[in-house]
Amino acid sequence: MKKFAKVPLILLGTGAAAFVGTFTMYMFNLDMKLMTLIEPLLEKWYDSREHDFYL
How buried is 25 (Cβ within 10 angstroms: 0-12 exposed, 13-18 middle, 19+ buried)? Answer: middle
Domain-wise residue ranges, the chain: 3-48
Q: What pTM, to 2 d.p., does this model score?
A: 0.62
CB 30 within 8 A of CB 24: yes
Residues of the chain with pLDDT under 50: none
Task: Note the pLDDT of residue 53.
Answer: 80
